[in-house]
Structure 1
Amino acid sequence: MTPMTPTQQAMPEISQVIEVPNKSKDQIFEDSKIWIAQSFKSANNVIQYADKSTGSIIGKGNIQYPCD
């Protein structure tokens, strides 16, 4: 594994839409929050904004990329 090094260069934004059949918006929202809690040391420090009514979660953190 290559160690991470600090950089002044911002990474490009990465986004992908994934269809999740047979799950409601609320289930996807809750499952996403669980994934964040399991994938980062502190979900409270990662989640910057969460709105269940719109299904929006905005986070800020570091994760090895590409990831599963």
Structure 2
Amino acid sequence: MQTFFPVPKSEITPPVAGSWQKVTVPGLPGWATGVVLHLINNKDVQEVLDIGLRKNGSVDDRHTAMGQ
């Protein structure tokens, strides 16, 4: 059975760019198996950002370019 469990919006910013960093999603219940993320480029410069995401412990990376 699948359940959608909304949590309040929060900013999640990795402490370092250019490498895989573990970040925590606040308010996520321990039984959750995934998240839906909404990414926003909040930089003043309209540069293209390379984004990579994956679940902790996984090697199934998801990559995209964000920007112009």
TM-score (normalizing by structure 1): 0.28
Return the structure number with greater helix share. 1
TM-score (normalizing by structure 2): 0.28
